[in-house]
Amino acid sequence: MNGISILIVIMLPIVGGVLLPLLDFDARRAREYYVLAIVIATSVFALSLISGSEGTELILYHLTSTIDIAFRIDRFGGIFALLVSILWPLSTLYAFEYMRHYHKRNRFFGFFTMSFGITLGVAFSANLITMYLFYELLTLSTLPLITHDGSREAKVAGVKYLVYSIAGATAAFIGMIAVLTHGGSLEFNVIGLGSAVTEANRAFFDGAFLFMFFGFGVKAALFPLHGWLPTAGVAPTPVTALLHAVAVVKSGVFAVGRVVYYTYDADYLAGSIVQKLALWFAAFTIVYGTVMAWKELHFKKRLAYSTVSNLSYILFAFLLATPSGLTAGLLHMMFHGLMKIALFFVAGAVMHQSGRTYVTELRGFAKAMPVSFGVFTVASLALVGVPPLCGFLSKYAIASAAVEEGSRSAYAGLAALLISAVFTALYLLTIVVRAYFPGENYDGHNLKDVTEANAYMTVPLVTLAVLIVVLGCFPGALTEFISGALSTAFPGL
């Protein structure tokens, strides 16, 4: 397949999304068919690209003498694309039901679909500037989704999101330019900085790395730049689930991975002072996120803080700058996407069916919504890291990578990982316990009008649960696919 196909797969949902408000469907059915057709077509196309035409390149435009807008399909990006291509159709299906009571659904689905193409753009970018382009567009296309219900709270959240994201992107951009002015290349390649580094400009590259790390760290909700994520939970749940647990935040993590392995290189970072600094930040965020999640009583905010913590797992793994760190990070990127979206979907289902938003209000809910809470239990256990569910595998891989790396900062991260595992169990399992064991003096008064969600919601939920279990037990094909990314990041492998 030639390079144009990459452009098509990125542009299809973007154009489709732009057209949606213009077409202005009045009938729900028509809109659903239209959106679903575009999303599924894109997913299928993206999956076929990932599997069949790795290495395809497309240089779209020479923006300046040093900056190209270019795309390439490689394994690292392919994994991210795989994740979103699996989850987008499921979320779309879920969103059809969830958004039924909202206004301006054409606008919503327009931006929702556009974001798909933009996320794929992030995944398939061949250099940092192209990624920056899509990264910024992702901020802009998801902003209307956060402020969708138009309430004051939503607007404040939107502004917060905007401030954090733009600041991060700008900082990252400054880092990129700094790399460029000192002879580095923004192209993603195996060599990384290579011979551009000398004794004299090493400090400079260190600074540039920190700019990019903290810049992209904003979307990856790194402490202290995480503040936007919990507040962004005011968005409709499909948005929180898909974008703020998968697409947007993972694009931040993904970008850090790109910087670590493809713009810089593992040799440069391994053992350097910036790596240590970054590792400590990630380790602290892991603990901070879980503790905050534990203290939080708002259902979606609790999950959002949990995301904060888990994203730093991935960051931590990537920052180890070893082959096993890379694969572990990618594995957790995949698995966390599945688990967290399932948890959010349940939270959304609860909100949709009963309007309850606090975890303290869920006494006995398992009786009314057995499927949802069954899935919730599975996903919780997976996120806690109970074998043989998928979360265990990725955490195990991260921890093993840390042990293997063996530096003091890696051990700090390991400790953070373990502390976080305990808190994860606490903040998730208490919900499960409350839902299944309401305790004495409970007469089910809060369940009067609560029923199980319909198939639009339960089908994605059950699919996710099945994926969580199956991928946990039989990860062979996936790990093999992921380890394919090694050869593109490490010259020797």
Partner 1 sequence: MTNVFTLLRITDRLSLQFGSDAVGRFFLCLVTIMWVLVGIYAQKYKEHQKHNARFFTFYILTWVMLAALTMAANYLTMYLCFEFMTLLSMPLVLHNGTPESIAAAKKYLFYSIFGATLGLLGMFFTNAYGTTLAFTAGGVMDPAKIAGKENVILWVAFLSVVGFGAKAGMFPLHAWLPTAHPVAPAPASAVLSGCITKAGVLCITRLIYQIYGTSLLRGTWVQTALIILALITVFMGSMMAYGEDLMKKRFAFSTVSQVSYVLLGVFTMNEAALLGALLHAAYHSIIKDGLFLCAGTVIFWTHKEYVSQMKGLGRRMPVTFGCLAIFSLGLVGIPPFAGFLSKWYLASGSLSEGLPVLNWLAPAVLLLSALLTAGYLFPICIHGFFPAEGEPEAEGKEGSGLMLGPILILAAATVLLGIFASPLKDALQAAAQSLL
Partner 2 sequence: MSLIPNIPAFSIILLMLCGIVCLVLPARWARHLADCAIALACAMSAVLLVAFMRGQEVFTYSMGEIGAPFGNELRAGPLEAAVATLFSVVTLLSILGGRAHLRADIGKKKVNLYYISVLFLLCSMLALVYTNDLFTAYVFVEINTITACGIVMSKEDGYTLAASMRYFIMSLIGSGLFLIAVSILYALTGHLLMSNIQEELAALYAQGQYRAPLQVAIALMGVGLSLKSALWPFSSWLPDAHSSASASSSAMLSGLVLKSFIFLLVKVFYRVVGVDIIRSHAILDLLLVFGILGMIMGSVNALFERDLKRMLAYSSIGQIGYIFCGIGLGTIAGVAAGIVQVAVHACTKAMLFCAAGGLMDASGGSKKFKDLEGAGRRDTYAGVAFIVGTLSMIGIPFFGGFITKLSLVTASVEVGGWRSTLAILAIIVSTILTAIYYINVTAIIFRGEEKTPTRASEKLREEWKKQMRLDTEYEFAIVLFIILNLAIGLQSDRLMDVIRAGLAVFG
Residue 200 CA from chain centroid, whole number: 37
Which listed option, partner 1, partner 2, none, makes contact with residue 159 (CB within 5 to 8 Å by class)?
partner 2
CB of 243 to partner 2, least distance (A): 17
CB of 386 to partner 1, least distance (A): 5
CB of 458 to partner 2, least distance (A): 33
Segment lying near partner 1 (by CB under 8 A), choices 16-24, 94-102, 204-212, 432-440 = 432-440
With binding defined as CB under 8 A, does residue 447 bind partner 1?
no
Closest CB to partner 1 among residues 355, 388: 388
Instruction: Among 187, 267, 404, 452, indicate the residue that binds partner 1 (CB under 8 A).
Output: 404
Closest CB to partner 2 among residues 178, 398: 178
- Determine the Cα–Cα distance for residues 101 and 105; give it in Å rounded to an integer: 9
Which listed option, partner 1, partner 2, none, makes contact with residue 174 (CB within 5 to 8 Å by class)?
partner 2
Instruction: Among 30, 37, 403, 455, indicate the residue that binds partner 1 (CB under 8 A).
Output: 403
With binding defined as CB under 8 A, does residue 257 bind partner 1?
no
Which listed option, partner 2, partner 1, none, makes contact with residue 110 (CB within 5 to 8 Å by class)?
none
239 contact partners, CB below 8 Å, separation of at least 6: 112, 142, 145, 146, 148
CA 262-267-272 angle, 5° bins:
110
Which listed option, partner 1, partner 2, none, makes contact with residue 33 (CB within 5 to 8 Å by class)?
none
CB of 397 to partner 1, least distance (A): 9
CB of 416 to partner 1, least distance (A): 12
Which listed option, partner 2, partner 1, none, makes contact with residue 163 (CB within 5 to 8 Å by class)?
partner 2
CA distances to 236, 252, 399, 416 from 122, rounded to whole Å, are 23, 10, 28, 30
Which listed option, partner 1, partner 2, none, makes contact with residue 143 (CB within 5 to 8 Å by class)?
partner 2
141 in Cβ contact with 248 (< 8 Å): no
CB of 403 to partner 1, least distance (A): 4
H runs (alpha helix) in 320-444: 323-354, 365-368, 370-384, 390-405, 408-436
Closest CB to partner 2 among residues 63, 191: 63
- Using CB under 8 A as the binding rule, the residues of this chain from 337 to 396 that contact partner 1 are 381, 384-388, 393, 396
Buried b (16+ CB within 10 A) or exposed e, 344-363: bbbbbbbbbbbebbebeebb
Closest CB to partner 1 among residues 436, 456: 436
With binding defined as CB under 8 A, does residue 443 bind partner 1?
no
Residue 190: Cβ-neighbour burial (10 angstroms; 0-12, 13-18, 19+): middle
- Determine the Cα–Cα distance for residues 359 and 98; give it in Å rounded to an integer: 20
CB of 412 to partner 1, least distance (A): 13
CA distances to 65, 283, 304, 327 from 69, rounded to whole Å, are 11, 35, 33, 28
Tokens of 123: 């995944």
Closest CB to partner 1 among residues 430, 487: 430
- 3-class secondary structure, 127: strand
- Determine the Cα–Cα distance for residues 72 and 53; give it in Å rounded to an integer: 10
**Of 118, 139, 141, the residue nearest 10 (C-alpha):** 118
32-41, Cβ contacts within 8 angstroms, sequence gap of 24 or more? 32/96, 35/92, 35/96, 35/109, 35/112, 35/113, 36/89, 36/92, 36/93, 38/12, 38/13, 38/113, 39/13, 39/88, 39/89, 39/92, 39/113, 39/116, 40/89, 41/12
Binding site for partner 2 (CB under 8 A): 61-65, 67, 69, 104, 129-130, 132-133, 136-137, 140, 143-144, 147, 159, 162-163, 166-167, 170-171, 173-174, 177-178, 180-181
- Using CB under 8 A as the binding rule, the residues of this chain from 307 to 336 that contact partner 1 are none
Q: How many residues bind partner 1 (CB under 8 A)?
A: 38
- Using CB under 8 A as the binding rule, the residues of this chain from 472 to 491 that contact partner 1 are 472-476, 479
CB of 298 to partner 1, least distance (A): 19
Segment lying near partner 1 (by CB under 8 A), choices 180-188, 215-223, 248-256, 416-424 = 416-424
Which listed option, partner 2, partner 1, none, makes contact with residue 59 (CB within 5 to 8 Å by class)?
none
- Determine the Cα–Cα distance for residues 441 and 443; give it in Å rounded to an integer: 6
Closest CB to partner 2 among residues 18, 469: 18
307 contact partners, CB below 8 Å, separation of at least 6: 221, 229, 244, 245, 249, 289, 340
CA distances to 58, 206, 220, 466 from 243, rounded to whole Å, are 27, 31, 12, 22
Binding site for partner 1 (CB under 8 A): 381, 384-388, 393, 396, 399-400, 402-404, 406, 411, 414, 418-419, 421-422, 425-426, 429-430, 433, 436-442, 472-476, 479
